[in-house]
A and B are shown apart, each in its own frame.
Chain A
Amino acid sequence: MTARSVRSLSGALKPLFSNRCPGVYGAASCNQRQKSTYTTIPPPARYGGRHTVTLIPGDGIGPELGNHVRELFRFCCVPVDFEVVNVDSSVASEDDINNAIMAIRRNGVALKGNIETNHNLPPSYKSRNNLLRTTLDLYANVMHCQSLPGVRTRHRNIDIMIIRENTEGEYSSLEHENVPGVVECLKIITKTKSLRIADYAFRTARAKGRRRVTAVHKANIMKLGDGLFLECCKEVASGYPEITFDSMIVDNTTMQLVSRPQQFDLMVMPNLYGNVVSNVCAGLVGGPGLVPGANYGEDYAVFETGTRNTGKSIANRNTANPTAMLLASCLLLDHLKLHAYASMIRRAILSTVSETRLHTADLGGQGSTSEVVQSIMNAVQSTGPQTLSI
């Protein structure tokens, strides 16, 4: 489809969509709007030179990691204040999550732990994490998996960026039981969102100097759904001639990832495959404790650990690996344009991770969370600017 036909189509559909969902717009206007706002979006408001960021502790290891982030930020004198909003996952009422969403709308940025979904509750109880993502339209989930020095893994030199559509696909939460014993679950793929995520992927690839974008799909079986996704990716790819675009079927992708992960550069995919691929990649570089994740939307950004685990079994034992959450907080600082603080903390974290004696249980060591955080603070202190003695 040419750009002109896309524009005319989106024009025809505008009245249809604008009545129902004000947030949805045609592909061409989507491109234009994003082109104009991408480079000039101002950082979120600062009052008195300090940012306010929503912090959602979540369940499991979330609260303790959130505390470590606050401790570290206080130590490094980062001009960020956290507004803590607790979400209770055991109640059926959606008030808590709505409060959290309102807080994020207010502040524009959030750092969150994973909120547990008790799947023994009735199906009307939707996943809180999913609700947050779809309500705030955080359409892009970005995870950067890199082999870290000092972490021993089976594969070396992995550097994969995974961009996953975060709001539709299999996670549309549309299910019904027409006949008792037969459940239908709908997977929705739309052209708008596919174009949007593909556009985001290619823009990111260009900005980060990535050479190759791989679309992961299952279009040989789901011809219409994933076929549409693939078509949208191809369409966007034609606008970026310097970037190689190819596609791969998801089962072949997982096979290639465990045998030769170095062949992948940047990958873009719908929701469920993104879940699988991002977890496989996180496992390849050393586990859930090392990789941060970011969810970007048009107006909001939420940062969390990449693999979104609650870590219930290791909660409150001081054995969780804080690296993922702390690196996520560095991504947060980058988003707030506090780059100096971000690089300082990131350098300290990476130097700590390379020290094997401080590795936590998930990396095969016996270190504790507080030891790791203390070591990071020491690293910051030794490399940061020295105050003059008075």
Chain B
Amino acid sequence: CHAVESAAAPCINGWEEFPRMQTVTLIPGDGIGPEISSAVMKIFETAKAPIRWEERNVTAIKGPGGRWMIPPDAKESMDKSKIGLKGPLKTPIAAGHPSMNLLLRKTFDLYANVRPCISIEGYKTPYTDVNLVTIRENTEGEYSGIEHVIVDGVVQSIKLITEDASRRIAEYAFEYARNNQRNSVTAVHKANIMRMSDGLFLRKCREVAENYKDIKFTEMYLDTVCLNMVQDPTQFDVLVMPNLYGDILSDLCAGLIGGLGVTPSGNIGANGVAIFESVHGTAPDIAGLDLANPTALLLSAVMMLRHMGLHDYGNKIQTACFDTIRDKKVLTKDLGGNSKCSEFTADICRRIQDLD
């Protein structure tokens, strides 16, 4: 039997019976995390995707030296597999450790947050034909966490913009656009007010755009983007921006297609690490009751498959998922139906088997 050389080509010349199994670190998370993770695993199994799951827990522990860190076996697994799929994590208020998402971000230097927002046929929102991607710088900007009280009653927050981080995110944005056949990249900024900081970000984007002449580069003020986004989202393609604007805009776009329950998200780090996650909360009120909607995690997993080059499997699973939603027969409560999570999952699995 001939093993296929790269995972990016699982179906070459009839060798598809022996695709190379890839390991993915699975972090089920809290609340509804475990049930949606098992739903995703079941769907992947039905689709015969060449993924081997390694489940890990990332609850923070205090390492030597007193600093909070993720458990070493989780870090080791991620470093080896380079790809992760994460469910929702809860941040306990008085646990003493920082938010888990922040810890993961720092540990793996996840600098780009990518959210493709594509209208889901069958889940009606006032906005149809949304097809855009928001790429948000995830390490600096307004969320540097550097705040001081100058005098009582006067607080200063520092927004940090560096050349390196701006260049890195711009390069990633153009690479993403090229790899996913996107036509244009728009830099979102407020350089008329924040002259130096957003000015630097914009300059770096312009510099990187010089190397990608095949992709159209435009720049637009944040307020203009917001204004146009709610009137006509079809005019946007790939958007790249610093941290705060990215936070607001990516949630705005998620709202356009139906909310966080159906939006996939991926975080790209240095050294080729990528963690895909669902961005909704842990929903403790419905945890364990088989009522959760696995769509967000499933679409993130599809994004992961595409990132790994397994486009066929990704398309198959996505089609099955969208068909189920369009059919409206077995929808979970948040999508307007009355079915259980297991029924929803079973329907998707059935469609995958029919597609084969």
A interface with B by C-beta (< 8 Å): 9, 13, 16, 117, 119, 123, 125-127, 130, 154-155, 170-171, 173, 175-177, 181-192, 218, 221-225, 228, 250-252, 254-259, 272-273, 275-276, 278-280, 282-284, 287-288, 307-309
Complex Cα gap A25–B201 (Å): 37
Interface-side segment among B55-63, B73-81, B225-233, B296-304: B225-233
User: Is B255 part of the binding interface, using a Cβ–Cβ cutoff of 8 Å?
Assistant: yes
B residues in contact with A13, CB < 8 Å:
151-153
CB pair A276 B222 closer than 8 Å: yes
Instruction: List 14 A-B residue pairs with CB atoms under 8 Å apart, sorted by A's residue number.
Output: A119-B192, A119-B195, A125-B195, A182-B163, A186-B158, A188-B154, A190-B153, A225-B157, A228-B153, A251-B251, A254-B255, A259-B125, A280-B227, A309-B224
Decide yes or no whether B200 CB sits under 8 A from chain A.
yes
List the A residue with the shortest CB-CB distance to B158. A184
Contact between A258 and B224 (Cβ–Cβ < 8 Å)? Answer: no
Name the residue on A nearest B256 (C-beta). A258
Q: Are B226 and A283 in contact (CB under 8 A)?
A: yes
List the B side residues contacting A185 at CB < 8 Å: 158-161, 194, 196-197
B155 to chain A, nearest CB (A): 5
Asked whether, in the complex, the Cβ of B192 is within 8 Å of the Cβ of A117, the reply is yes
Are A187 and B152 closer than 8 Å at their CB atoms? no
Shortest beta-carbon distance from A129 to chain B in Å: 9
A181 and B227 within 8 A (CB): no
* Given A184-B160, A189-B157, A258-B230, A279:B147 Cβ within 8 A: no
Contact call A254/B196, Cβ cutoff below 8 A: no
Smallest Cβ distance from B42 to chain A, in angstroms? Answer: 30
Q: Taking the complex as formed, is B145 at the interface, i.e. its CB lies under 8 A from any CB of chain A?
A: yes
Q: Which 5 A-B pairs have the closest CB atoms?
A: A255-B255, A191-B153, A283-B230, A251-B251, A181-B163
Known: A182-B163, A284-B230, A288-B227. A171 touches B193 (CB 8 A): yes
A251 to B161, CA, bound (A): 21
B143 at the interface (CB under 8 A from A): yes
Contacts of A282 in B (CB 8 A): 227
Q: Which residues of B contact A (CB under 8 A)?
A: 125-127, 142-143, 145, 147-149, 151-164, 190-197, 199-200, 202, 222-224, 226-231, 244, 247-252, 254-256, 259-260
Contacts A191-B153, A225-B157, A280-B226: A250 and B248 contacting too (C-beta < 8 A)? Answer: yes
Q: Which residue of A lies closest to B204 (CB)?
A: A181
Q: Known contacts A181-B162, A309-B224; is A127 also within 8 Å of B252 by CB?
A: no
Known: A127-B192, A182-B163, A187-B142. A154 touches B126 (CB 8 A): yes
In the complex, are the beta carbons of B248 and A186 less than 8 A apart?
no
A288 to chain B: which residues have CB within 8 Å? 227
A62 vs B143: C-alpha distance when bound (angstroms): 36
What is the chain B residue whose CB lies nearest that of A190? B154
Cα(A101)–Cα(B248), bound, Å: 34
Cα–Cα, bound, A185→B309 (Å): 40
Asked if A255 meets B259 with Cβ closer than 8 Å, knowing A16-B151, A223-B147, A228-B155, the reply is yes
CB-CB under 8 A from A223, the residues of chain B are: 147
The distance in angstroms between the C-alpha atoms of A186 and B255, with both chains bound, is: 30
Known: A185-B196, A283-B228. A258 touches B223 (CB 8 A): no
Alpha-carbon separation in the docked complex, A119 to B195 (Å): 7
Cβ of A251 and Cβ of B160 under 8 Å apart?
Answer: no
Known: A13-B151, A309-B224. 13 other contacts (CB 8 A): A119-B191, A170-B159, A184-B160, A185-B160, A186-B156, A224-B147, A251-B248, A258-B126, A258-B127, A259-B259, A279-B227, A280-B227, A280-B252
Q: Which residue of chain A lies nearest to B200 when distances are taken between CB atoms in the complex? A: A183
From the candidates A182, A252, A272, A307, name the one contacting B251 in the complex (CB within 8 A): A252
Once bound together, how far apart are the Cα atoms of A70 and B157, in whole Å?
A: 44
Contact A155 B126 (CB under 8 A): yes
> Cβ of B255: which chain A residues have Cβ within 8 Å of it?
254-259
Cβ of B147: which chain A residues have Cβ within 8 Å of it?
222-225
Contact indicator A123/B195 (Cβ below 8 Å): yes
Chain A nearest CB, measured from B259 CB (Å)? 7
Give Cα A158–Cα B200 distance, bound, in whole angstroms.
38
For A307, what are the chain B residues with a Cβ–Cβ distance below 8 Å?
A: 223, 227
Q: A190-B155, A252-B251 are in contact. Are A183 and B196 (CB under 8 A)?
A: yes
Chain A positions within 8 Å of B161 at CB level: 182-183, 185
Asked if A258 and B252 make an inter-chain contact with CB atoms under 8 angstroms apart, the answer reads yes
A276 touching B157 in the complex, CB below 8 Å, given contacts A9-B152, A154-B127, A182-B162? no
Contact A123 B151 (CB under 8 A): no
What residues of chain B lie closer than 8 Å to A123, measured between beta carbons?
195-196, 199
Q: How far is the CB of B184 from chain A (nearest CB, A)?
A: 17
Q: Tell me the smallest distance from the CB of B142 to a CB of chain A, in Å.
A: 7
In Å, the complex CA distance between A255 and B260 comes to 9
Q: Pick the contact of A221: B143, B155, B191 (CB < 8 A).
A: B143
Contact (Cβ within 8 A) B193 A130: yes
